[in-house]
Amino acid sequence: MNTKKLAELSLLAALSLAIYILESFIPPLLPVPGIRLGLSNIITIFVLCRFGIRDAALVLSVRLILSAVFVGQITYFFYSLSGAVLSFAVMAVLVTVNKKRLLIFTGAFGGLFHNIGQLLTALFLMGSPYILSYLPFLMISGIITGIFTGAAAAFLLRYLPEKDQ
């Protein structure tokens, strides 16, 4: 990895972390635990499309680790990790399959699977099947917020200049 690319990815990881931290100050929009905007996924989708799967995984990993250090408890890390891994896998497949088009759908599926990953972690940690009653709310919120993050990433990709080869 050359120095310019390392600097670009470092800046994107820092931007993703800053967005995540700023979002943590936004009060919950609904009284349902786990519903967040997921704005740092804009950067994840952007890096997936602009740099590829490996670099996006690196940026996401840096954000996950640093956000656990700066924002929260260890349980937040497990919820974030499970949601991020599942979401990232789905988004990476969709970006590869749809050739970086239809990012609204990529974001929607990413948001949906992020919430599914977090719900599975909650089910594992809490051991109560009643946690699944949140599934409809989390599915709807994941799709809605994912549509926004996908649209924002598409906007960035359209209006930011392509990286130098």
Q: Exposed (0-12), middle (13-18) or buried (19+): which is 54, by Cβ within 10 Å? A: exposed
Give percent of the chain above pLDDT 70. 97
**Total tally of structural domains belonging to the chain:** 1
Residue-range definition of the domain harbouring residue 71 = 3-159
> Chain centroid to CA 156: how far?
16
Residue 165 belongs to some domain of the structure: no
Mean pLDDT over the full length of the chain: 90
What CATH number does residue 37 fall under? 1.10.1760.20
C-beta of residue 86 within 8 angstroms of C-beta of residue 114: yes
Residue 18 belongs to some domain of the structure: yes
- The string of pLDDT tens digits covering residues 45-82 is 999 999 999 999 999 999 999 988 887 777 778 888 99
pTM: 0.91
Distance CA 43, CA 38 (A): 10
Distance CA 98, CA 89 (A): 14
Distance CA 59, CA 54 (A): 9
- The string of pLDDT tens digits covering residues 76-120 is 788 889 999 999 999 999 999 987 789 999 999 999 999 999 999
